[in-house]
Structure 1
């Protein structure tokens, strides 16, 4: 039996958990801002994310988690981004190479965490999101242990507790800066 030459790891469903999150932007003012969550109990600064419910799309899970944790309603933010996905109307056989498509709302980043002790992995799909137009006036109570704060890009990156979150926000900021303000 042939073996793949690629390094691979396979996990059955009981050994992986899927999470989805989004970097939430406020693009309404002259200074663009990112929403961070202050986890008061541990004095940590984090991004909104959480486990995907069974049968829930990843996009819906990301938006739901942002709303539950921050109280803000938002939508996915379409941006031009490099990706290895194929176009929906493209040829059946297309090279596996990076292309840039406009107005994508696909995940812009993916994190895989090994959980240790044979527990498997946590897969985190990251999206870009922007506040809905009426988000401030229609804000719901978020989860009690989190206090959301909108911070300027550089301050948000500095404030985050974990380096991996800094990398996620850094990439998100690059993509949003490139999209200008047409998506706000």
Structure 2
């Protein structure tokens, strides 16, 4: 079952995710996930479960997709677009990686940790690139 906001007349699919980052050798790296179903590179995100808060869903999705725990930081806002013929609303946070290990699975078969510029180039969708512009110095 897909979580939709009953208060929204458009019945948008509600989702959440994070721009997951870590410090590595004096630089910041961004975690990108590859989804074989769509053959794209994006930030970890997913649909909310019924009654789940956006932040709880974002943290759950990061762990499920990347195998990494994280500490949420700066809210990055909500991105709205159409997916599979329905409106979708995804709320994001910047989040610092705090441990874990990636194991490939059916939903995400690869992750990459890349410097900001390389992450920007690798991301498939412009809406995901725009999230990198929202990260304030110090939060990533």
TM range (shorter): 0.7 to 0.9
Contact 1:157 1:170 in 2 (8 A): no
Q: Distance in 1 between matches of 2:94 and 2:49?
A: 20
Query: SS at the partner of 1:65?
Result: helix
Partner of 2:138: 179
Map residues 7-46 of structure 1 onto 2, 5 A cutoff: 11-12=8-9, 15-40=11-36, 42-46=38-42
Gaps of 5+ in 2: 1-6
Equivalent residue for 1:155, pick from 100, 118, 121: 118
1:73 counterpart SS class: strand
Give me the CA root mean square deviation: 2.4
Q: Tell me, what secondary structure is at the counterpart of 1:166?
A: helix
**Following the alignment from structure 1 to structure 2, what is the Cα–Cα distance between the partners of residues 15 and 52?**
14
Gap regions ≥5 residues in structure 1? 1-9, 78-104
- Could you tell me which residue of structure 2 aligns to residue 81 of structure 1? none
Q: Which residue of 1 aligns with 2:130?
A: 167
CA contact (8 A) 2:102 2:111 kept: no
- Partner SS state of residue 62, structure 2: helix
Q: TM-score, normalised by structure 1?
A: 0.64
**Given the alignment, which residue of 108, 118, 133 partners 2:76?**
108
For these two proteins, the number of residue pairs brought into alignment is 133
| TM-score of the superposed pair, with normalisation by structure 2 | 0.82
Work out the CA distance in 1 between the residues paired with 2:94 and 2:123. Answer: 17
* Structure (1 or 2) with the larger CA radius of gyration: 1
Relative distance call for 1:180 and 1:18 in structure 2 (3 A) is closer
Instruction: Name whichever structure is richer in strand by fraction.
Output: 2
